[in-house]
Amino acid sequence: MYNFVPVLTFIKDGKKVKSDKLENELYTLDISINEGELKCVLHPKREFQLFSFALEAKRALDDDEVFFVNGFQSWSTCQECKKGDLVADVVSLANISPFTRRLATMSGDYHFTTYGEQGRFHSFTYTYFRRGDFLELFGSANERTGYTIFEIEGRRGIFRITKDVEGVTAKEDYELLNVRSFKGTYDEVFDSYFSSLNLRKPKIEHLSGYTSWYNYFQKIDERIILRDLDGLDRAKEDVSIFQVDDGYETYVGDWLDVDRRKFPNGMKNIADKIHAKGYLAGIWIAPFSVQRVSKIAKEHPDWLIRNKKGKKEWGCFAWGGAYTIDIYNPQVREYIKHFFDVILNDWGYDMVKLDFLYSEATEPRCNKSRGQIMCEAMDFLRECVGEEKLILGCGMPLGPGFGVVDACRISCDVDLDYDGKFYNKFGVNREIPSAQNAINNTIYRRHLNGRVFCNDPDVFFLRDDNLTFTWEQKELLATVNNMFGDVLFVSDNAGDYGDKELAMLKKSFVRNSADVHSTYMTDSEVFEIKYTDDSGDHTFAFNIKTGKIISR
């Protein structure tokens, strides 16, 4: 049993104050630490402003042990860290000005967590210590009062469980921590943890089909979409969904203002054509984002989240920059409800891929922590979409989406170049597009698939044009996606495939029934996956850096 010590950080006279007391003139802490469960409730004696709470214990990371880092949101890199590893901060060039720092960090957690110290790592919502095949898992049972962050400092030998409650004024009893722990094998601890949460079950088990983004990006039109829809006819029996991604709207945020030059017959016509093929119709939306040049941004500046200086706060730098609309504004809530109603009920789409969700909760506000805002935002989205339609989350802090979304991206965007662009070599941040990081996350977040939602490992490619992959790299990406994911998308026009590509497509769309026993990195570049299928026991090994398959 760990000997945990509480550390409550609060604001007094404009300064941060730390206290390890269970009681003082401001509060009483009610801490319960039992086998398999840690709870802490704050009982304030009068109002005061919180910043963070932590339970700290002595805990060294041994030479033969690893600590799992669950990245902040869908795109953020995950990994198992040894005690001498370094999880880097954003690229140093980003620090030349506050503006460049903001651009590089806005999609991550860099402004409220610590990076760049050797042996110091943190993980969101859950983590584990692993020695061989034995795991000790710690997982949050409540993110609704704030993000739960698990941290280890190797040099000081400290294990810390932190609740990010910045921005909250304590007025009444407040649950600071609710954490569970489990010991056993990989599958045992994750089965136990997620079963204990009693989550809403996703309405799907497997999806396979097409999404338009990674071949055309925003340059789609009705001709391209219907051509690629027809192109799937050759694999029709293995296809269940066809998704239209970004590019149908005039500007991001003006979702019902369809670009009639590109889609002269509107988006209901596209959904009808998809349904005629027997597929579910999916469509992409960034529900909280509004492009700076959009009608919404121009006509409703009062809908936008503002920073502490009262300026419009960027939520992302895509599309030349986008602001975020505030879900605590009643007019915003009605607007969001309305466009979902039209898209899902009038146009007839069955699934919405909801992107850039993290942007709603980059800073605390309204006397709510970041985690509370994100949980309430996810609940609101499910309310808008309803129980009968599907949600695919993306750019989403994972914990707040547990039990809410049916499927979720669990990796960054793949890149059209397996080796990545020039900026990948600089390590700009942990959310930047990368085929290698996508493969990495698909493996490290495999425990979520089927237990919490269907994992979307992002697309694989089989085409030759507009792509810099060898056939072996294409095969690797498709194999990993199929082995560990249950939302399997291509962005190719399958009508252009030869026999080899078509056979690989059909093989990759079929749900994988292999029993994976273990996945380890044998060195800094080689993954080794042991599994059993109908033909026996196998070892699938590959070099993630080069994309070369070593054995299967």
Quick: pLDDT tens for 381-435. Answer: 999 999 999 999 999 999 999 999 999 999 999 999 999 887 676 678 999 999 9
Question: Which phi and psi angles does 529 have, rounded to 5°?
Answer: -120, 120
Do 417 and 434 meet the contact criterion of CB atoms below 8 Å apart?
no
DSSP state of 346: I
* pLDDT at residue 425 in the model: 67
Q: Which of 233, 251, 177 is nearest to 29 (CA)?
A: 177
d(CA 397, CA 413): 15
* Range of lowest pLDDT (21-25, 88-92, 353-357, 454-458): 88-92
Strand order across the beta sheet in which 314-316 lies = 289-291, 322-324, 314-316
d(CA 359, CA 527): 33
Per-residue model confidence as pLDDT tens digits over 279-326: 999 999 999 999 999 999 999 999 999 998 899 989 999 999 999 999
* pLDDT at residue 93 in the model: 81
Of the chain, the end-to-end C-alpha distance in Å amounts to 41
Tell if the pTM clears 0.75, that is, is over it.
yes
* pLDDT at residue 280 in the model: 98
Q: Please, how many CA atoms are within 13 Å of residue 139, restricted to the half-sphere of its CB?
A: 19
Per-residue model confidence as pLDDT tens digits over 64-109: 999 999 999 999 999 999 999 999 999 888 889 988 888 899 999 9
d(CA 460, CA 457): 9
Q: Which of 286, 263, 285, 284 is nearest to 273 (CA)?
A: 263
Q: Cα angle at 374 between 373 and 375, to 5 degrees?
A: 95
Q: Tell me how crowded residue 113 is: count the other CB atoms within 10 A of its CB.
A: 16
Per-residue model confidence as pLDDT tens digits over 238-284: 999 999 999 999 999 999 999 999 999 999 999 999 999 999 999 99
Mean pLDDT (the chain) is 96
Q: 242 in helix, strand or coil?
A: strand
Per-residue model confidence as pLDDT tens digits over 28-66: 999 999 989 999 999 999 999 999 999 999 999 999 999
pLDDT band (50, 70, 90) for residue 378? very high
* pLDDT at residue 103 in the model: 85
pLDDT band (50, 70, 90) for residue 1? low
Cβ-proximal residues to 180 (8 Å cutoff; 6+ apart), any chain: 36, 37, 38, 138, 139, 141, 193, 196
d(CA 542, CA 328): 48
Q: 61 in helix, strand or coil?
A: coil
Find where tokens 């949600």 sit. Answer: 391
Do 183 and 189 meet the contact criterion of CB atoms below 8 Å apart?
yes
Per-residue model confidence as pLDDT tens digits over 128-163: 999 999 999 999 999 999 999 999 998 899 999 999
Per-residue model confidence as pLDDT tens digits over 455-482: 999 999 999 999 999 999 999 999 999 9
Write out the two tokens for 248.
Answer: 């149908």
Write out the two tokens for 143.
Answer: 């993110």
Q: Per DSSP, which regions of 336-429 are E strands?
A: 351-354, 390-393, 407-409
* pLDDT at residue 102 in the model: 87
Per-residue model confidence as pLDDT tens digits over 203-244: 999 999 999 999 999 999 999 999 999 999 999 999 999 999
